[in-house]
A and B are shown apart, each in its own frame.
Chain A
Amino acid sequence: MNWHAHLPALLLAVPLLGAFATPVFNMGGKTLRNAWFIVISSSVFLIALALWHQVSVNGIQVYVMGAEQFALSLPSGMKLPVRIILEVDALSAFMALAGSITSLAGAWFSLSFMDRFTGLSRFVSLYLLLTVGMLGMMITGDLFNFFVFLEIASVASYGLVAFWRDRPQAIEASFKYMLLSQLAAMLVLVAIGFLYGRYNVLNMAAIGSLIHMGIVEKVALAFLISALALKCGAFPMYLWIPDAYGEAPASVSCLLVTVSQASLYGLFRVCFSIYGLAMSNKVVAWILIIFGLLSMFIAVSMAVIQHEVKRLMAYHAVSQTGYMLLGVGVGLLALGNSQALAEYGFTALKGGVFHIFNHAMYKGLLFLTAGTLYYMTGTRDLNKMGGLVRKSPWTAFMFVVAAAAIAGLPPMNGFASKLLIYQSSFAVHPLLTVVALVTSILTLASFVKVFQTAFLGPEQDRMADVKKVPATMLVGMGILTVAVLLLTFFPTWALSHLVEPAAKALVDQAGYIAAIMGGAF
């Protein structure tokens, strides 16, 4: 067996080692700690890239912890899988790639951005633990392990949101996040308990192969949807997000975007890979669609009136999640009807999945530019900014790239994914497209406001002595800018190599189950 077979385990083991070894490297000084941080983050990205390539070439990768053979999910003649199994299909690899890119960008950005604060050993450890939790949620094939990784990510993020503990607002934001998140986690645990009680298995593919809808399964589904909708930020459960994203250091907010998307991934995995065709009626699809519409419109309308730059961007993060819920909800609506799936369902899924990747890149970049504005000026209040394009033209350029992408302006990548969602949702009902278009217009209006108030206008006296943007922060933003521009100028490549395989994996419940259950399915 070659080392490629161990990539799923390495994807989790490397950042885990990084997190726990950071205090040791910290004893060697700042330079060694920073080098360790970048080496680990870069390694995670390279492993995620290699894993994505491996999945693209060889199909679903299965990794069984502690088995006779690493790829043997049903050893010793067993009929059901019992060990911890990592199952990486095209969707998991796609998500892990997006997560590792934002993690790397955030790591570079943190080097200078966090330099003036103390406790950086703990910061780096928590940041890498957050990365482990996020990646674990994306590649595990086991429901209970999903819960464990969800908790690892949650606990790390509570610490990171409250990292500036001298700010009461940060402590309050972390407390609110913890309160809601723990209730959601308990719901996930109860739902997993229901399913385990019914089927005696925790493996997602095994549950998917056995499931039939009864009251218990329906309650478990409702609990999982509610909890994961809270974690990914759907109306009216997103209310913790503006506080948490707003108060966390910018690099953490950048990573939290993909952590929330890991919950969204969990929601999609539950709906498509576990329940799938067993959900005969369309209630869940309409719940996702309505969540999507409400989230996108209400959050963007709240963003328009914000004057605190990170809170404004946090509302936009919720709004963009609405697009993904809409796209995948429309796809779920068509599931089981091959004609509808071919006509609009698969296009909607592609749009929703493409938007996940796009959103991770441009929203991460927007949080980093917001962090740069804070670093330069010492304030997050847009009322106190102005004329900053003269001080940092590169930051302004990268902000414009990200703002144009999130607003869905052609030819940016955000437009390409939104176009797929607009056209497919129109086939279900024109009102869905109208809400999505209005949301896009309000998004543009909101970011025009940010650009005008922060970057344009006459030079302000109070902005005369702003700090210069360090090179490592520019590198962090540059990584995401390059990603946005590549997705913008090569959308066909992105769709055919990244998005379509991921969307196909989402609808291919039988393939997901067969990778684990094999002949037993």
Chain B
Amino acid sequence: MWTKVVTGFGYWDVYSWLIFLAIASFFTLWLRNSGRQDYKEGTYQDEIYFSGNDVPEDGQDISVPADSAYWGFIKVFRPYYDVMLSVHNGLAQDYLGYFVLSIAIITALIVLL
């Protein structure tokens, strides 16, 4: 009774979700455990697959820095980000300009419409 969110279009229940999550986790772990029976610990099967490349000795060399995360997404949206970065340029006079422009637009919309 304390866990149901009624939206007016339906409802959602926290505990139902948690029960579903527990059942799904059980089956996932069961499937995983019933996987390859020929696995042998300490053999070549333990080696890391690194996209066919040699695995660096030092684990630190294979960590992905924050700047490289989502590079494809950022590359695709480069034109958008060029515009956005020019807006977020850090100049106080520009920020004031955007504010004054916003006041003008909001005032015009409210007064005229």
Contact = CB atoms under 8 A, between A and B. Distances in A.
B17 A492 contact: no
Nearest to B70: A304
Question: What's the interface size class on B, roughly?
Answer: 35 or more
A199 interface: no
Given A187-B103, A243-B90, A383-B66, A491 B3 contact: yes
A445 B110 CA distance: 37
A216 B77 CA distance: 44
A237 B63 CA distance: 37
A281 interface: yes
B49 interface: no
B31 interface: no
Please report whether the interface of chain B is mostly helix, strand, loop or mixed according to DSSP.
helix
Contact of B111 (A222, A236, A427): A222
A421 to B, nearest CB: 10
A236 B86 CA distance: 13
Nearest to B101: A236
Contact of A449 (B10, B62, B66): B66
Contact of B60 (A343, A411, A420, A461): A461
Interface string B1-38: 11111011110101001100100000000000000000
A26 interface: no
A35 B70 CA distance: 46
A287 to B, nearest CB: 6
A510 to B, nearest CB: 23
Contacts of B7: 347, 419-420, 423-424
A423 B110 contact: no
B81 to A, nearest CB: 7
Interface of B: 1-5, 7-10, 12, 14, 17-18, 21, 59-60, 62-67, 69-70, 73-74, 77, 80-81, 84, 87-88, 90, 92, 95-96, 98-99, 101-103, 106-107, 109-111, 113
Contacts, number: 154
A490 B2 contact: yes
B20 to A, nearest CB: 9
Nearest to B10: A423
Interface of A: 175-176, 179-180, 183-184, 187, 215, 218-219, 221-223, 225-226, 229-230, 236-237, 239-240, 242-243, 281, 283-284, 287, 298, 301-302, 304-307, 343-344, 346-347, 381-383, 386, 410-411, 416, 419-420, 423-424, 427, 445, 449-450, 452-453, 457-461, 488-493, 495
Given A215-B111, A239-B98, A301-B80, A453 B64 contact: yes
Contacts of B62: 458
Contacts of A281: 113
A459 B63 CA distance: 10
Contact of A423 (B9, B14, B64, B67): B9
